[in-house]
Chains A and B, each alone.
Chain A
Amino acid sequence: MRLISLWCLLIVALALSFARPGIANVNSTTRPSDLALEIEALRAMQDLQITSTQLQQFSDAYDAAHGFNNTQVADTGNIDKAITTGGNDYFLLLRLRQSLLNEDARHIESAEKELAQLEQRLRINLTPRIVAGSIAQRSAVKLATAFSGWQVADYIARRSDEVSDPTEVLVAALTQCRGMSSEDFQVFSMDVAQEISELVAGLTSRDKSRVQIRAANLIHMAYALDDDAFSHQRPNLEKEARDVARVDASVALQHWIECEIAQLLANPKLKVAISDRALWVGQTAANSEDAQ
């Protein structure tokens, strides 16, 4: 009986490997959150249309940035809880990863669509949130200068929905924060203040903490006021918010792209993504040579 079970397992394993050719080099014990991180790295690399020289620069900077290990990744536990390793949802992640490695636009699009549906079904964001450490941030500012205008334009175009206007964000936050529980408010105000400071002052500027404090204070003021006082003081608060978040659009975009690069650099799976990409490109080249 034990022998039969073993044979069955072997047959299932073989069937799976034949059914999904091209996914063979993924370790089946890879956690879903790690897979999600690698996917995000591959996505960003693809959106940036990164060249091999730039890839090498990223690889070097990654090593330097992670020597200090001050990067945080949130949401990984939720992803691992929601997605079972070896299940259909897990294979969807594998399929997307493979399509990104292949740079197969059609399959990427269909897998991304399925992933969006999965996110809706599970009510979870399958892109882990990465908070880049200071070393990654400093390296990102330097690395951002290595990209050409067309690369950055293309990246912004592909992710245009993610670009925000700091003024709009801060003005909206003044109303959004009201009525929140104190725990939610703490997280919310910190996130908004950080986003505003990064867009307005950039990752490495001395002004960053000043802007962050001003933005946080403003949100705290709006949160603390009762309804009457808030409606009375709202115009002044909004005026102050516009002043805090005032920045030239080009400068804000420059800071935004630096943040994006910092997140890519801080991605713990960047190195895996780079080596997978190199491996895949190498394999494809070898296969085409064999075919010739």
Chain B
Amino acid sequence: MKMSLTCRFIALALTVPTGYLMAVTVAGTPAPGPGMPSMPGLPYRMPSISLGPPIQRPYEPAPSDVRIVQKSSNDYHPLNTSAATASKKWSRNTWIETGGIERRHFWLVHPLDTAWEKRLVAFVQEREFWSHHQHLINLCWLGQGWIYLDSTTQPTTFPSELIWMGPARVRPSTVALRVHALRVLQSLHLTSGQFHSLQESLSQMTDAGDVVDADVVDNILTTKPDCYATLNSLYRDSVLSNDDQSAADGQRLLSLEDKYQVSVEPTVVVTDAAREQAQKVFAMMNPPQIASYLATRAQVVPNVAEVLMAGMDESRKIADVDFGDYCNCLAERIAVLTTGLDPEANEPVIARVKQMLAEARNLNESAYEDQRSDFQNEIRGIEENCGAIQMIAHSIQWDIACFLSNPQAKGMTTIRARQLQQS
């Protein structure tokens, strides 16, 4: 409290769904409430700065992504239109000497997370010489609850560099899509050259795929708060590349999915462009990259015979209205696994699988049991057309195609690109 009387400072905490308190204190206004980390203040000092040309930022948020809730009370600059516009006024690519410390402005305009509606994200300036600043920016960005401000080690941040803004609401299924995209990116272990090629592949894709079960995933995550909290943690740790924590989060999410018998990974319709580009991305990978991809995402190569046999059992139980979609989905999956991403090559397998599912559905219990071994032989025939390594290649290509069709893939790739650039 003493500090709030003697110093001019800003303290910011972000309210996250778990109930942290957000509070802003400017120039002696009351201290933050319970749950908020203490933010020591220092005397405010206006630096002398000269504006340079704006930085070409890699990601320009859509206006709908950002809305200003409140702008800084220390209103030295007219940051009163929109966050995107305001950020440009403050970005510069020249080095600025302030009190012997070089710095460069950086606008954080990614309201990434999630259930942050009515929460605050701050624009902060990045000091590239101190990696912990980058970390703090990430923390702020991800709603960890606090941010480095006008305080301990550097004296030159001034309050008007902050804009408080609330991100547009993000659907829970969108968080799940982002998690999927980040995990695929992490598993690919791409070199910087390959990463650049991946970005090119993404840029050639005009449309993302439709998310067919977004409502279902939203409903699951809304009604199961522990799932959603774990997904958010996984998202945060994936963005920050906290590998150990994200592995633990992933395990926790898997066990919750098992517990509730649900899947929180949305299904994205793979586009034709993604099919084409996925083969190019796969062609860039070398054997160790494929091996490490399998080590982290081994589930991408299922046991075809088991999947199809289970599918036939399932097809006998599901309702008529769902049977068509179920057939299409399973047939496409089996066809891709055995014949790859070429739609023409898929057709005969799709037709055969659909026929088998229809046959299995129409048989009575004893006839189905009698014909089980025939079905198994037929499945073996479908599987035998494809070698093991070929199947692995098809599976990874399909996984990459799903990633490329993911509406969040471009955004997440931009994040990774920026992190790579900064590291």
Contacts and interface: CB of A to CB of B under 8 A. Distances in A.
B392 A152 contact: yes
B294 interface: yes
Contacts of A148: 303-305, 383, 388, 391
Contacts of B290: 156, 163, 249-250, 253
Contacts of B55: none
B257 to A, nearest CB: 20
A220 B391 CA distance: 39
Contacts of B304: 148-150
Interface stretch (A125-133, A164-172, A208-216, A270-278): A164-172
A257 B389 CA distance: 9
A147 B391 CA distance: 11
A207 to B, nearest CB: 18
Given A163-B287, A249-B286, A256-B287, A157 B305 contact: no
| Interface bracket on A | 20 to 34
B383 A250 contact: no
A90 B347 CA distance: 57
B302 to A, nearest CB: 6
A164 B288 contact: yes
Nearest to B303: A150
Interface string A147-184: 11111111011111001111110000000000000000
A168 B291 contact: no
Given A149-B301, A156-B294, A160-B294, A144 B388 contact: yes
A167 B287 CA distance: 10
Contact of B294 (A145, A153, A167): A153
A252 B303 contact: no
Contacts of B389: 149, 152, 250, 253-254, 257
B286 A165 contact: yes
Interface string A228-243: 0000000000000000
B285 interface: yes
B355 to A, nearest CB: 23
Contacts of A199: 287
24 contacts: A144-B388, A145-B387, A148-B391, A149-B386, A149-B392, A150-B303, A153-B300, A153-B391, A153-B392, A154-B298, A156-B295, A156-B392, A157-B291, A157-B294, A160-B288, A160-B292, A164-B287, A168-B288, A249-B287, A250-B290, A250-B389, A252-B287, A253-B290, A253-B392
Given A151-B388, A168-B288, 11 more contacts: A149-B389, A149-B390, A149-B391, A149-B395, A150-B303, A152-B388, A157-B294, A160-B292, A165-B286, A249-B289, A253-B287
Top 8 A-B residue pairs of the complex, sorted by shortest distance between their CB atoms: A149-B391, A153-B301, A160-B291, A163-B291, A152-B388, A160-B295, A157-B294, A157-B298
